[in-house]
Amino acid sequence: MAPRAYRFLIVWLVLLLTVWVLQPYLTGLWWAVSQPRSVTPRGSLAEAEKTAIAIFRQASPSVVHVYARGGPPNPFVRSAGQLQTGSGVVWDAAGDIVTNNHVIAGGREFGVRLTDGEFVAARLIGASPQHDLAVLRLVRPRAALRPLAIGRSSDLQVGQSVFAIGNPYGLDQSLTDGIVSALHRRLAVSPRVEISDLIQTDAPINPGNSGGPLLDSAGRMIGVNTAILSESGASAGIGFAIPIDTVNRVVPSLISTGTVPTPGIGIVSADPAVAAQIGVAGIIIMRVVPGSPAEQAGLRGVDLASGTVGDIIVAVNGQPVGSMAQLGTALDAVGIGHTATLTVERDGVRRQVTVGVVDVAGL
């Protein structure tokens, strides 16, 4: 290659190297914006966004932060020492607040923080562990209260949009959304208590959301968020809410009497572990309460002298039952004052027995 060509090549390499070295400085000099940039108009919000915004604005003033002091540790509520917190809903203008029983269980002192920041002392009006619902009443709130509009849960459909408002991890007024994932779910909260007919949703529900409302796309409360299904305690896309039809039946009773009638037939069952050990698929009647519908129907408990098993309840109105929780759910569906048809097994022979359903608190 000729010397002139070499010189030309070297000059170009030097120029390229110079540009490469100076490029960051030249870019900053020519393209850096030293003044506020102009805002690009975004246009209209999407319809889904407008719906979510409207629902939050409409419902959030009715969602409160619930505090209970002195309760036991609970993985489904936000707790710090002996102070546990959750969410609640303004039910009426009298200051009644609906929340979960597990949020306030064991508490001795209660308080509610309203959306305007006012902290109001509250007292427990009533609780129903079998429905995981409780009612607190505010003591002399200064702010005007806005009861949340309610809808129906009987006509819910899998796939429809839902929204949850609550106070997860102590953070006030959080909104999440999702769909109705399933209906008529069951969740055992103790060996003898099973909440039935729950709404399953994938709207994120975390500790602290308990007691807050589940809303439909019209902004009506269709359920009370109650629990999540997660080994870690954080939302895993499976949350549950107590249907509003249940809430609307239980809460008035709690406000009026402090309790909810407990349907039963007057039996004491054997430990489920005993039934499992002897291979029995059903509820072994350990004892029949004197004067109860069970005694009147001729049901028989275990003969303690001989250890002979008496009657085993295997179904209610044709639906199999294997625990007292399932029996309670079935009798709750029948209702106090009505009769249920039990399928009972004794000495290997099954028969149908009609028995009345009563409030067992009166037995």
Residue 133 near residue 211 (C-beta atoms within 8 A): no
Q: Annotated catalytic residue: which of 174, 181, 196, 210? A: 210
Count each helix (H run) and each strand (E run) in the chain, helices first.
Answer: 7, 21
- State the virtual CA torsion across 345, 347, 349, 351 in degrees, nearest 10: -40
Residue 347 annotated among the catalytic residues of the structure: no
Q: Annotated catalytic residue: which of 87, 102, 196, 332? A: 102
Q: Which own/partner contact pairs does 225-231 have at CB distance under 8 Å and 24+ positions apart? A: 225/87, 225/164, 225/166, 226/76, 226/100, 226/102, 226/132, 226/187, 226/195, 226/198, 227/76, 227/102, 227/132, 227/187, 227/189, 228/76, 229/187
Q: Which residue, 217, 142, 204, is CA-closest to 171? A: 204
How far is 251 from 223, CA to CA, in rounded Å?
A: 13
Q: Which residue, 179, 231, 223, 232, is CA-closest to 204? A: 179
Q: Annotated catalytic residue: which of 79, 87, 128, 132? A: 132
The owner of tokens 């870019």 is: 27
CA distances (Å), origin 88, targets 133, 163, 164, 172: 10, 15, 12, 12
How far is 149 from 158, CA to CA, in rounded Å?
A: 22
Q: Which residues contact 94 (CB under 8 A, 6 or more apart)?
A: 137
How far is 225 from 201, CA to CA, in rounded Å?
A: 10
Cβ neighbour number for residue 114 with a 10 Å cutoff: 22
Instruction: Read off the tokens for 159.
Output: 């796939």
How far is 137 from 88, CA to CA, in rounded Å?
A: 11
Residue 210 annotated among the catalytic residues of the structure: yes
Cβ neighbour number for residue 120 with a 10 Å cutoff: 20
Residue 102 annotated among the catalytic residues of the structure: yes
Active site positions, annotated: 102, 132, 210
